Amino acid sequence: ELRSFMFENVYSIGSEVNNPIDIKKLIYTLYDYYLEHPEKMPGEYYKGQEDAERYVVDYISGMTDYYALNAYKNINGRV
């Protein structure tokens, strides 16, 4: 019962619009975008170009599913 609940309510990112998002594409899009635009990250993550890859990974890894989905939609102009 818990497993069913989790898949229906937690693991189904993007399912609310009946259009599942390719999670791998979402992560790569966020990574590429924030690597090119690190100033778009909050100040505690944006610490300059040195080790930019690490800062981007740290920022994305701290996102909730819904925050990541909204960031992805904003980047792609689908707000």
Q: Compute CA distances 21 → 15, 17, 62, 75, whole Å.
A: 8, 10, 19, 14
Q: What's the confidence (pLDDT) of residue 77?
A: 79
Global pTM reads 0.69
The pLDDT tens digits of the residues spanning 15-47 come to 444 456 788 889 999 999 999 998 888 877 776
pLDDT at residue 7, as a whole number: 72
Percent share of the chain, pLDDT over 90: 34
The arithmetic mean of pLDDT across residues 1-17, rounded, is 66
Residue 11, pLDDT above cutoff 70: no
* Residues 35 and 52 sit within 8 Å (Cβ to Cβ): yes
Would you give the end-to-end CA distance of the chain in angstroms?
A: 34
